[in-house]
């Protein structure tokens, strides 16, 4: 039996590839995604016209990204973050229409299972030398402006030396992490250290990419939150530290002006004694608004 040999080349790319995938892919969403991916990928290759050495370098780079991943290191998330794609996916999926608190990226350092804590507790298990005591305080509201009871705030941050608990073997597990549940007044309050700017990990291929592109690896200081309540959209967000020098150049493109919190020095002796901290101390007041799901 004779078979007609097809001619493939620059003259019929990507059309020939699109025709094949378009005809054979059954699931409509998979089909839509594959056709768009092929269209954009071919267009990219036609645009940059890589040499074979360059294309192999790209494949070697992605292979190295995969090899860098393990249970606690996710280099692919870091790649998506530093290319601005995580932030874009986040914005596409969480339009809060100017009412709810804005979302931002989850990042690779969230570990489920933080200890449940009473309101007013400290999440600092091991203080760092330069750490400045700070109180985070505010109210979780629903979209009608009513305080939300039963909202769970899962909180985590890096130390003032720039490491999350799983990155530093000298830190206790879940240092600077905690889970708080609001009462009828919707209020939350906990003691921590003022978050400092820190570099994302640069000892892998993503660090090499940033270096090759002349980009710094810094994120402005921030507190991470996941806030959940039955019937409401999960809010994944940060409170960024006001005055941080990296607020205008976050290496993962995740800052939003609405998420900057102001750390103010406070002499509130009564609150200091209630929270078992010394006065004066820093305090950041920040409210959250959840949207119904
Ligand atoms: C973080 O804030 O933990 C983070 C986010 C994206 C990339 C690296 C770190
Ligand atoms: Fe972070």
Query: Which is the closest atom of ligand 1 to the Cα of 219?
Result: 2
Identify the three-state secondary structure at position 262: coil
Q: How many domains does the chain have?
A: 2
Is residue 226 domain-shared with residue 90, that is, in the same domain? yes
Q: How far is the CA of 105 from the centre of ligand 1 (A)?
A: 7
**Does residue 60 lie within any of the structural domains?**
no
Distance from CA of residue 143 to its chain's centroid?
Answer: 23
pLDDT digits (tens, 9 = 90+) for 228-258: 999 999 999 999 999 999 999 999 999 999 9
Give 168's pLDDT tier (boundaries 50, 70, 90).
Answer: confident
Count the neighbouring beta carbons within 10 Å of the beta carbon of residue 189. 18
Q: How far is the CA of 101 from the centre of ligand 1 (A)?
A: 19
CB 207 within 8 A of CB 217: yes
**Does residue 2 lie within any of the structural domains?**
no
What is the chain's mean pLDDT, rounded? Answer: 95
**Does residue 238 lie within any of the structural domains?**
yes
Please give the residue range of the domain that contains residue 198: 75-289
Is residue 41 domain-shared with residue 80, that is, in the same domain? no
Q: Is the peptide bond before 280 cis (omega within 30 degrees of 0)?
A: yes
Query: How far is the C-alpha of 264 from the C-alpha of 284, rounded, in Å?
Result: 6
DSSP single-letter state for residue 292: B
pLDDT digits (tens, 9 = 90+) for 113-143: 999 999 999 999 988 878 899 999 999 999 9
Give the model's pLDDT for residue 217: 97
From 158, 222, 254, mutation site for ligand 1 pocket: most ligand atoms within 8 A of C-beta: 254
**Does residue 3 lie within any of the structural domains?**
no
pLDDT digits (tens, 9 = 90+) for 54-111: 999 999 999 999 999 998 788 999 999 999 999 999 999 998 878 899 999 999 889 9
For residues 79-113, one letter each, b for 16 or more C-beta atoms within 10 angstroms of the residue's C-beta and e for the rest, the string is bbbbeeebbeebeeebebeeebbbbbbbbbbeeee
Give 290's pLDDT tier (boundaries 50, 70, 90).
Answer: very high
Is residue 102 domain-shared with residue 44, that is, in the same domain? no
Question: For ligand 1, is residue 252 a contact (CB within 6 Å)?
Answer: yes
> What DSSP element (H or E) covers 171?
none
Q: How far is the CA of 118 from the centre of ligand 1 (A)?
A: 27
Is residue 36 domain-shared with residue 157, that is, in the same domain? no
Q: Which residue's alpha carbon is nearest to atom 2 within ligand 1? A: 107
Is residue 39 domain-shared with residue 136, that is, in the same domain? no
Give the model's pLDDT for residue 32: 98
**CA angle, corner 124, sides to 225 and 140, nearest 5?**
30
Give the model's pLDDT for residue 19: 98
Give the model's pLDDT for residue 249: 98
Question: For ligand 1, is residue 109 a contact (CB within 6 Å)?
Answer: yes
Query: How far is the C-alpha of 15 from the C-alpha of 35, rounded, in Å?
Result: 10
HSE (side-chain half, CA atoms, 13 Å) at 203: 3
Strand duo 133-141 + 187-193: pairing:
antiparallel
Is residue 91 domain-shared with residue 156, that is, in the same domain? yes
From 77, 79, 108, mutation site for ligand 1 pocket: most ligand atoms within 8 A of C-beta: 108
Is residue 35 domain-shared with residue 158, that is, in the same domain? no
Is pLDDT at 213 greater than 80 in this prediction?
A: yes
Give the model's pLDDT for residue 144: 95
Q: Which residue's alpha carbon is nearest to atom 6 within ligand 1? A: 107
Is residue 37 domain-shared with residue 93, that is, in the same domain? no
pLDDT digits (tens, 9 = 90+) for 5-48: 999 999 999 999 999 999 999 999 999 999 999 999 999 999 99
DSSP single-letter state for residue 116: B
């Amino acid at each position: 039996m004779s078979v007609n040999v097809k001619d493939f080349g620059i003259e019929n790319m990507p059309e020939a590839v699109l025709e094949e995938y378009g005809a054979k892919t059954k699931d409509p969403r998979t089909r839509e995604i594959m056709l768009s991916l092929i269209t954009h990928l071919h267009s990219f290759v036609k645009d940059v016209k890589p040499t074979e050495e360059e294309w192999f370098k790209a494949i070697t780079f992605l292979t190295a990204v995969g090899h860098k991943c393990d249970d606690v290191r996710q280099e692919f998330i870091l790649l998506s973050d530093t290319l601005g794609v995580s932030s874009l996916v986040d914005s596409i999926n969480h339009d809060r229409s100017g009412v709810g608190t804005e979302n931002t990226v989850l990042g690779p350092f969230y570990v489920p299972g933080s200890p449940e804590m009473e309101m007013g507790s400290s999440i600092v298990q091991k203080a760092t030398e330069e750490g400045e005591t700070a109180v985070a305080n505010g109210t979780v509201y629903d979209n009608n402006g009513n305080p939300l009871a039963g909202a769970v705030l899962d909180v985590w941050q890096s130390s003032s030396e720039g490491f999350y608990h799983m990155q530093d073997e000298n830190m206790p597990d879940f240092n600077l992490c905690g889970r708080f549940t609001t009462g009828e007044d919707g209020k939350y309050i906990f003691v921590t250290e003022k978050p400092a700017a820190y570099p994302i990990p640069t000892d892998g291929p993503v660090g090499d990419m940033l270096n090759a592109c002349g980009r710094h690896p810094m994120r402005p200081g921030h507190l991470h939150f996941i806030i959940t309540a039955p019937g409401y959209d999960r809010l994944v967000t940060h409170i960024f530290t006001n005055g941080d020098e990296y607020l205008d150049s976050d290496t993962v493109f995740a800052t939003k002006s609405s998420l900057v919190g102001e750390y103010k020095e406070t002499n509130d002796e009564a609150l200091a004694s209630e929270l078992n901290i010394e006065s004066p101390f820093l305090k950041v007041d920040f409210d959250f608004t959840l949207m119904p799901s």
